[in-house]
Structure 1
Amino acid sequence: MKSQISNVVSDFFFEYETQRQVLVRNRRVGVVCRLIQLGVLGYIIGWVFIYEKGYQSTDTAVSSVYTKMKGVGYTNRSGLEQIWDVADYVFPSQGDASFVVMTNFILTENQTMGKCPELPGKDNCSTDAECEEGRFKRHMTGLCLKQTGTCEVLAWCPVENDATIPDPPLLMSAENYTLFIKNSITFPLFDVTRSNLVEGIDGKYISKCLYHPDNDPLCPIMRLGDIVKFSGFNFTTIAKVGGAIGILVDWTCNLDRAVRHCKPFYTFHGLYGNPGETDRARASVGYNFRYAKHYMEEGQAKRTLIKVFGIRIDIIVQSLARKFDIIPTLTAIGSGVGIFGVATIVCDLVLLYVLPKREFYKNMKYKYTDTHQQYDGVFLNPRTPAFRGLPITKSNRNPI
């Protein structure tokens, strides 16, 4: 028993096993093997390392966006002159990454809470029975007013009439408003913080610059008319009924280079408000909302209702930073080396199942043995002492 244990231990420590290799001299198999290996090598170098940057780890940024609009609008409605500044035409005014710039509007002034007729064409009636109390958009009183042929409603009176949208837009001067974007990002994995106010952008530069994709691509100040143009829209059309535009701030950074090369890239996308889309093509066109200015006059609550048509701007930050990392590099190399095994599998299939001499190659590749070896007519166990004294011939490479 002790000798058996010692033999097992001795075999474990002092013997080495390796695979038997067969050298096949066949042009077709050799060409197939090398072509597959070249394809795998091209995949590893071209796709994994060059295109997918498999040797780098990645991180996305934590981002903050602050905006500021500048510009003054002027309107003259029926001889009533009015100046519109940022506090009047930007909603909300806190400088968020998503906001609306008013370009057109419909005013309904001096509204008071009470009872009044509905607009002609809406809720028409001939008898009180057609004005069911509480029905439709406004709260009906149940009376049909013969003077107007419409139902009486309980609402802010006079009711809003938004059937006609001002054309041309009342605030066409919005085309020359300017937008200032301040964006800060942090890549936590790499401990890198950047701002779109990159090196070389100071107060003197900002006071003079105006964004242009070719001439001044890093300027954070943009003209509203240019934003609309770069998004593919027509300003007059989108200013009339409103629309939405996305400004994409792209931070794609290779941190294997100096950090100063990590700079933003701006692109503009029209989300809706395309001048090619007509009222017939869409059920709802443009962008609008309502807000009211409440006040007291002679002890009575009144309001001015404003239906706003505007350009909604959404600033979207997209980020991806890459930097060399030994772990993904080794992982990419290891997976690539494993793929080289495909060449061996394909060539073995060709050798053993396709070529005319497949039976010959099978005999050369596989060694068939029984449980015990036969030597001079006697079956011996390879682990027995008698077998250990016999000469052993090892063949690592057998040319065929």
Structure 2
Amino acid sequence: DTRMAQTWGNFLYSLLDYKTEKFVIAKNKKVGVLFRLFQLGVIGYLIGWVFIWKKGYQETDEAIQSSVFTKVKGVALTNSTDLGLQIWGAEDYVIPSQVRIPPRLNGVNKNTDLPCPPALNWVFVFCPGSGVKTGHCMNNTGTCEIHGWCPIERSHEPMEPMLEKAENFTIYIKNFIRFPKFDFSKSNVLGTTNNTYLKTCTYDEVHHPYCPIFRVGDLVRWTGHRFQEMAVKGGAVGVVIDWNCDLDKDSTKCRPEYSFTRLDALKDSTSPVASGYNFRCLFARYYRDTEGQTVRSLYKVYGIRFDIMVNGQAGKFNIIPTVVNIGSGLAVMGGVFICDMILIYIISKSSFYRERKFFFVHVKDK
């Protein structure tokens, strides 16, 4: 019992001991220079990369909330055999809720809801969407009757766009963003006292980098393609809006950066369906002709689709990440482990330093 009490007493007294390290100063210039260079490198990394470049003193918010509104302007005059002389405004060529500009139409196909005349059998084999078989067939010609919209759509692809002037149309892209962590909101419309600025400006990377009005031909050109070529088969253009906001600065410094890319073009692809964009629509909907039959005007439209994508992050000073990064840098600054390994294992006098760094105690058993 006495020995047990003494053991516990020694343990409790040892908790009050203060331990300090014993340092061995090695007069070795090579290792000393290496140690100081290592410390300078850590300081440079901490100041240059962590705090200046990566802004390690800031708390960040990448959960950007965004809303985009678009408005297309432009008028074109066309004269074709299908439509004759026609004026095209934004209400004619912009599909609601999306940014699509159809510079090319595959003609007009006026269909009547009637049993169609006998058609070739392969229509039903390869084109089941043309109609429903009525069951009336002619054995001598190998054709059958279908119930559907007549005449059946035929593939007719003009080699040039109908709305060539769409290249000069403009798209007004209005973007509202919010960073909820900092309760910060911003718009890409430049704040200016000039009331005529938005009426006269067009986006230019050098002269008007913050004008939200873009020329359609420029949007296509900045992707590395030509409008007149893309307008033939259609395509998809991505407009990327990047917000990188330093909220430690004035809010006017938080401005968007734009980049542009073609989304439907696959590199090293020879597939005929690899690129292009088209859809079918009914501009005139349904109506009745003089004979009382239901008629529709079907358009196959090759258009350029604009997909607007918004990315961004915001940062603001916070003491917690600042202290964490400083502490991490100071911990690495010691650099003791690396220099110790060189000192006691690598250099020519390593055994000499090793004997003086470590103190060996041998206890003899009684």
TM-score, normalised by the number of residues in structure 1:
0.78
Task: Give the counterpart of 2:32 among 9, 21, 30.
Answer: 30
**Unpaired segments of 5 or more residues in structure 2?**
none
Which residue pairs with 2:258 in the alignment? 266
Alpha-carbon RMSD? 3.1
Which residue pairs with 2:204 in the alignment? 212
Which residue pairs with 2:113 in the alignment? 112
Which residue pairs with 1:46 in the alignment? 48
Which residue pairs with 1:307 in the alignment? 300
Return the alpha-carbon distance in structure 1 between the equivalents of residues 183 and 171 of structure 2. Answer: 30
What is the identity, as a one-letter code, of the residue corresponding to 2:100? Answer: V
Superposed CA offset, 1:353-393 (max 9, x none): 22343333222112223569x9xxxx9xxxxxxxxxxxxxx
Superposed CA offset, 1:277-304 (max 9, x none): 99x5543441001123222334422211
Return the alpha-carbon distance in structure 2 between the equivalents of residues 171 and 37 of structure 1. Answer: 66
1:87 equivalent in alignment to 2:91: yes
* Per-residue deviation, 1:73: 2.7
Superposed CA offset, 1:4-42 (max 9, x none): 7776655544x4210111111112322332232233222
Identity of aligned residues (%): 39
* Per-residue deviation, 1:114: 2.2
* Per-residue deviation, 1:312: 0.2
Return the alpha-carbon distance in structure 2 between the equivalents of residues 283 and 199 of structure 1. Answer: 44
Matches within 5 A, 1:172-191: 172-191=164-183
1:354 equivalent in alignment to 2:356: no
Which residue pairs with 1:100 in the alignment? 100
Superposed CA offset, 1:77-116 (max 9, x none): 227222222222111x24xxx4211111122113324223
Question: CA distance change for structure 1 residues 145 and 319 in 2, over 3 Å: closer, same or farther?
Answer: farther
Return the alpha-carbon distance in structure 1 between the equivalents of residues 86 and 139 of structure 2. Answer: 37
1:200 equivalent in alignment to 2:201: no
What is the identity, as a one-letter code, of the residue corresponding to 1:74? Answer: L
Superposed CA offset, 1:50-92 (max 9, x none): 222211121132111011112223222227222222222111x
* Per-residue deviation, 1:211: 1.7
What is the identity, as a one-letter code, of the residue corresponding to 1:234? Answer: R
* Per-residue deviation, 1:46: 2.4
1:237 equivalent in alignment to 2:229: yes
What is the identity, as a one-letter code, of the residue corresponding to 1:184? Answer: F
Which residue pairs with 1:398 in the alignment? none
1:17 equivalent in alignment to 2:19: yes
* Per-residue deviation, 1:140: 6.4
Partners of 1:249 and 1:264 within 8 A in 2: yes
Return the alpha-carbon distance in structure 2 between the equivalents of residues 277 and 150 of structure 1. Answer: 42
SS in 2 for 1:207: helix
Which residue pairs with 1:166 in the alignment? 158
**Unpaired segments of 5 or more residues in structure 1?**
125-130, 380-400
Which residue pairs with 1:383 in the alignment? none
Larger Rg: 1
Which residue pairs with 1:394 in the alignment? none
Number of residue-to-residue matches in the alignment: 355
Superposed CA offset, 1:139-158 (max 9, x none): 563746866x7665443110
Which residue pairs with 1:63 in the alignment? 66
Return the alpha-carbon distance in structure 2 between the equivalents of residues 49 and 356 of structure 1. Answer: 40
Return the alpha-carbon distance in structure 2 between the equivalents of residues 57 and 362 of structure 1. Answer: 46
